[in-house]
Amino acid sequence: MKLTQQRSQLLKILLHHPEPISADEVFKKFDNKSGGMDLVTIYRILKKFEDGGLVSRLEFGDGVARFELILESGHHHHHVICRSCQRVEPLHLCDLAPHIQMVESMGYEQVSHRLDFFGICSKCK
């Protein structure tokens, strides 16, 4: 994938954002002085990054797609999401390997999963 100025700037935004970020939030952070980028272009680049395995697309049931960089190959994590303020925190754990192996033994390939927790954070309670 060719590294353009827009892709480079979008990667910097993703690198410096501690939580999954929506395309709208990326748009607000994007420096339009250095060439400008519209929302459609941001979505296109995020899709290209997703297809290339650079970002993962996350949906938490609120109709907003969020994206985060995949920093380690083969590593994924889960999230806890505040129902009130929508704050997202990573949970760096996954003990589902036995379950994945069971599904694969049923004849499934390219098995993936998603596990998200929802609650009210300490700041909102």
**What are 41-82's pLDDT values in tens digits?**
999 999 999 998 888 888 887 888 999 888 765 557 788 889
Please identify, among 55, 74, 93, the residue that sits at the C-terminal boundary of a domain: 74
Q: Which CATH number belongs to the domain containing residue 26 in this structure?
A: 1.10.10.10
Total of domains in the chain: 2
Are 87 and 123 members of one domain? yes
pLDDT for residue 35: 58
Separation of alpha carbons 11 and 88, rounded Å: 20
pLDDT for residue 114: 78
Are 47 and 21 members of one domain? yes
**What does pTM read for this prediction?**
0.69
Separation of alpha carbons 52 and 37, rounded Å: 21
pLDDT for residue 47: 94
Are 101 and 49 members of one domain? no
Question: What confidence category does residue 86 fall into, taking pLDDT thresholds of 50, 70 and 90?
Answer: confident
Q: What's the longest Cα–Cα distance across the chain?
A: 54
Are 52 and 84 members of one domain? no
